[in-house]
Amino acid sequence: MQRQPLSDLGWTPHGIVCRATMEHVKEIETGLRAEDRRELEDIAGRPAIQSLLMGALCGEPCLSLWSHGGEPLALLTIIRTGLDRGTIALSGTAAIERFSIPFLRGSRDVLRRVQGDYSLLYNVCDARNEVHRRWLRWLGFNELREVPGYGAGKIPVIEFAGLRRQDHL
């Protein structure tokens, strides 16, 4: 499938970054990591595809990340919740583990480019999803506290947040 790169990101040294389309969402959803699917479904109480599609419709931006070979890696969404605040979410495929180094480096680059209008990004993640927790720490987010019994599945989550800093994000 031909990818339409995001004009200001597109092909990067670490992969391809595109504005997410509905087709991208469907392709990424079929390859979701089991932990990411569980997180989406336990928090929202609906099938993962619904949460991903909502992110694609509401994200400012919603981006799909791909390997240089065209393998789907992840969907990255920021949803505006205030003038300069937003929630950030990532749902990844199993390929993020095979492409871990380019994925991590690329995530940092992409976040620097898209965070511009946001002074604060935050959300929750499943406390059991160690890959997400490591990714968030890699990007410079701070874990604030653990909240037990969250969402439809009453799971433990970690609240996290990150302020835009000139020297980091």
pLDDT tens-digit readout, 94-153:
999 999 999 998 888 888 888 888 999 999 999 999 999 999 999 999 999 999 999 999
Give the residue among 158, 106, 154 at the shortest CA–CA distance from 130. Answer: 158
Nearest residue to 52 (alpha-carbon basis) of 4, 89, 81, 16? 89
Q: What's the average model confidence in pLDDT over 87-98?
A: 95
**36, β-bridge pairs:** none
* Interstrand relation of 15-19 and 62-66 (parallel, antiparallel or unpaired): antiparallel
Token pair belonging to 16: 């391809």
DSSP, collapsed to helix, strand or coil, labels residue 28 as: helix
Q: Indicate the average pLDDT of the chain.
A: 90
Average pLDDT over residues 7-16: 73
* Residue that wins the pLDDT comparison between 120 and 165: 120
Q: Is pLDDT above 90 for 156?
A: yes
pLDDT range class, residue 9, cuts 50, 70, 90 = low
Q: Which amino acid is at 31?
A: G
pLDDT score at 76? 94
Least confident of 7-21, 47-61, 80-94: 7-21
pTM above 0.85, yes or no: yes
